[in-house]
Amino acid sequence: MAASGTKKPRRVMLILEILILIGLLVVPLVTSDFHTIIATRMLLLAMLAISFDLCWGYSGIMTFGQALFFGVAGYVAALLANKAGYVQIWGIVPICMLVGLVSSFLIGWFLLLGKRTPTIIFVALGTLTASYAAERLVAGWQWVGAGNGMSVWDFMKVGSYELEPGPVFYYVILGFLIVAYIASRWMVRSQLGLVLAGMRQNEERLAFFGYRVQRFKALVFSFSGMIAGLSGGLYAFHEGFIGPGSMGIGLSTYAVLYGLFGGVGTLLGPILGVGAIETIAFILSDIDALKPYWPVILGVIMLIVVAYRPTGIMGLIVTDRERIGSFGYRVGDEPDAGGKDAKEDTDGTA
Amino acid sequence: MRSNDSMTRRGFLRGSSALAAAGWTAAGAGWVLKPTWANAAGSIKMGIATDITGAIAPSGNANWQAAQLAVKQINDAGGILGKPVELFLEDTASDPGTAVGNVRRLVQSAQVDVILGGITSAMREAIKNPIVRRGKTLYIYPQLYEGQECTEHLYCTGPTPAQQCARLLPYLINEKGYKRFALPSANYIWPQLLNKWARRVIEENGAEVVMEEYFPLDQLEYSATVAKIMSEGVDHVFNTVIPPGLQAFMKQLYEAGYYDKGGQTCVYFDENSVNYVAARELEGVYSCLDMFHTIDDAYSAQLISEYNALFPDTKYLFSAGSAATGMYRGVKLYEQAVLATNGDLARDATSAAMENAAIKEGPGGPSRIIPGTGHAEMNMYIAQSRGGKWDIISSEATVPPQECA
């Protein structure tokens, strides 16, 4: 691949990343606590959107049930707080990630690692059904609050410090988002990412090369479930409430919308998608004349995006070549990808 | 008076005629109802979080209008210690998930001094945390409910199971002769705990519970349950299904011919229930609440006529099962609390004063908070729906809530 040709556009993406990072860093400094809390919620949803993007944008897994892992981890976090009185962030975070990882691995195992190669439709309907079934299940399960959902009364704690929603909580979440972003970025820019890109383009061909594509898919699916679980657990503590709706098809669909609107196949896209959709929704909720039509407006926008701009907002900003990017060992023009490690890793798996 | 009211909504002025119910129902979240006069010392900010839209909307709108009536009365009489009360409304949309975000606007953005609202227990459970714990704001919950809500700084101004069922169920069993009860219920905390209460009272009085079943809130298919009610010889249905499932359940029960076989109780049914179910399905249903339009109480009658004058075309009536009475009572008790603190609006001060708040007149009769319980004592009335009206069967004065003692 041409190295010099990609140099200039590559900077656009990097500049965009830095600009967004600076923007996110100053939010609590320039707005009220109220708006900071709204923004924190967006960061949490951005993690969910990234987890969707890893599936669809990078590995061709059409997951319509990403909220399932978000919700299960949220419920686990709420149960830990309410039933066990455990609210330490150092325990909550790994547990929620583990819950997301395990639950998505189980679903992924069932849907992806069967004897026959699953079609996109099968995976989409499978994840959709799982999400719907889980929503109905918790809505009828009294121990977890049934239709009530669960109020998370206590704040998450760091040692003895209580994390109340506000600027500090915001920066904690921003920290997690950055870590999740960098981990995801490293993954999709490594040699593993190259395999994923190949799968996305032509799955059969990759299979003929000897790659066990379904295993790669299950791997990415589990990883994305882990990120969704992380955001779900933190979300339960931030909102102070988790209900059946947080693991159902409603939120799952929103995860898809965030991704498509912002632009799948770039990790920045989902963040922009969440920012755009949630900001419009927030503004519209102050305009009573338009509020009832918001779902209609959103639907029309999505139709236009899917039909005319399948690359979303990001497609307007960066070129196709830059969106797809380059991979792994080409350390020279990729300052922030852990190329060497990635190479060893994927060589082992492949 | 009404022609002078102007509603500001994030700075946007609207005509006074919008006060009519029709104008409000389609309106979304974030209304502010400014008083017609101002005090240099500022106003008392009161937040209302209720279900303006969604499945519980008929009750939520009655709630919101009751709050407006109470506040209008206070402001017309010169406010509280000279300060007018300013009303902020957020729509909880019959959806706890949405509500958590909207209630946050009242706490963090409008920074109200007190929040009243929430109708279902699911809603209360969801919003009490952002209000009381995260928001450090006083919270008044106006609806009848299952009891056992003993959160500090949370005051309940609607009836408890003890107030609703302690006399109603023995009356049904001992005087009406009902022996075999069915408890069809929505699956959330109110039916679960209320049914525990009901089951105990039913069994103590020598009757039996034939079936107790819980359904998802939005279940629309009840044929199996109705068939069981018909075949098991049930003679009384103690119904705790709520909208949106309620409509389907009542219709299917009616169409199966149950109404010829046995009686039914639904303890949140009131004058507003025709907004949920057909009139024929209401016929003969028993309820027990803190006010009916048919009670013999001059102050209540005056309140109802003032409400109807303020909202002439509304279909959302000033009724008890819709928490409108609890809302009115809550606003008035809060007024007493602010008077007691001599205008100190700090959460801890008003909360401490709420403990001893009392009103001599109110919907259904006088009321006061029982100190140390967070619950109110009130008059209770047993009634039966007959030809579109609620016939009062019996009444009892100042019934204690028996909660959190």
pLDDT digits (tens, 9 = 90+) for B32-76: 777 777 777 788 999 999 998 888 888 899 999 999 999 999 999
**What amino acid is encoded at B390 in this protein?**
W
Distance, CA of B12 to CA of B276 (rounded, Å): 33
Nearest residue to A322 (alpha-carbon basis) of A332, A334, A331, A310: A334
Single out the residue of B235, B250, B240 nearest to residue B280, CA to CA. B250
- Nearest CB neighbour to B216, from listed A41, A139, A153: A139
* Residues ≥6 apart with Cβ < 8 Å to B51: B57, B59, B60, B63, B91, B92, B93, B94, B119, B123
**Percent of chain B, pLDDT > 90?**
61
B9 band by pLDDT with thresholds 50, 70 and 90:
very low
* Residues 225-244 in A contacting B (C-alpha not used; CB under 8 Å): 239-241, 243
Mean pLDDT of chain A: 85
Q: How many CB atoms lie within 10 A of CB B379?
A: 23
Mean pLDDT to the nearest integer, B197-207? 93
Cα–Cα distance list, A107 to A82, A231, B78 (Å): 27, 19, 64
- Residue A162: pLDDT band by 50, 70, 90 thresholds? confident
HSE of A279, CA atoms in CB hemisphere, 13 A: 10
Q: Are A333 and A326 in contact (CB under 8 A)?
A: yes
Residue B25: per-residue pLDDT: 32
- Least confidently predicted of A172-181, A311-320, B380-389, B392-401: A311-320
List % helix, strand, coil for chain A (3-state, nearest 5): 75, 5, 20
CB B88 within 8 A of CB B31: yes
pLDDT over 80 (residue B7)? no
pLDDT at A329: 58
pLDDT for res B13? 29
Asked if CATH classification 3.40.50.300 holds for the domain at B162-293+384-399, the reply, yes or no, is no
Question: For residue range A288-299, what is the model confidence (pLDDT) as tens digits?
Answer: 677 778 888 888
Average pLDDT over residues A2-23: 72
Nearest-CA neighbor of A192 among A343, A333, A28?
Answer: A343
- Confidence label for A13 from pLDDT (cuts 50, 70 and 90): confident
What residue ranges do the domains of chain A occupy?
A: 10-349
**Of residues B230 and A332, which shows the higher confidence score?**
B230
Give the model's pLDDT for residue A202.
Answer: 84
Locate CATH 3.40.50.2300 in chain B: 2-159+297-379, 162-293+384-399
For residue A166, give every residue at least 6 positions away whose Cβ sits within 8 Å of its Cβ, in sequence order, or none: A28, A33, A36, A37
Range 115-144 of A in CB contact (< 8 A) with B: 136, 139-140, 142
> How far apart are alpha carbons A71 and A137 in whole angstroms?
12
Chain B residues whose beta carbon lies within 8 Å of the beta carbon of residue A240 = 100, 129-130, 133-134
Under CATH, what is the fold of the domain A10-349? Answer: ABC transporter involved in vitamin B12 uptake, BtuC (1.10.3470)
List the single residue in A with minimal CA-CA distance to B107.
A34
Question: B261, B283 in Cβ contact below 8 A?
Answer: no
Burial of A143 (0-12, 13-18, 19+ CB in 10 A): exposed
Q: Which residue in the set B129, B130, B187 is minimally distant from A146, CB to CB?
A: B187
Mean pLDDT along residues A24-48: 92
Asked if residue B133 lies in contact with residue B113, where contact means CB atoms within 8 angstroms, the answer is: no
In this complex, the residue of A34, A153, A288 whose CB is nearest that of residue B129 is A153
C-alpha closest to that of A165 among B111, B96, B135, B105:
B135
Answer whether the bond into residue B400 is a cis peptide, omega within 30°: no
Phi, psi for residue B290 in degrees, rounded to 5: -85, -5
Residue B55: predicted pLDDT: 85
Is the entire prediction scored with pTM above 0.90?
no
pLDDT > 80? residue B277? yes
Pair of tokens at residue A59: 């590995």
Look at residue A168 and tell me whether its pLDDT is greater than 90.
yes
A327: its two tokens: 């991979």
Q: What is the CATH number of domain B2-159+297-379?
A: 3.40.50.2300
Strands (E), chain A: 150-151, 156-158, 161-163, 241-242
pLDDT at A140: 83
Smallest Cβ–Cβ distance between A147 and the set B9, B100, B122 belongs to B122
Hunting for tokens 């009902």 — which residue is that? B178
User: A10 pLDDT band (50/70/90 cuts)?
Assistant: low
For chain B, helix, strand, coil in percent to 5 are 40, 20, 40
The residue with tokens 């007149």 is B361
> Please, which residues have CB within 8 angstroms of residue A227's CB and are 6 or more apart in sequence?
A47, A48, A50, A51, A54, A97, A100, A180, A184
User: Average per-residue pLDDT in chain B?
Assistant: 87
Among A119-123, A171-175, A304-308, B91-95, which range has the highest average pLDDT? A171-175
Cα torsion through B94, B96, B97, B98, rounded to 10: 40
Could you give the angle at the alpha carbon of B85 between the alpha carbons of B145 and B339, nearest 5°? 80
**CB contact B308 to A (< 8 Å):** no
Which of chain B's residues have a Cβ under 8 Å away from the Cβ of A133?
none
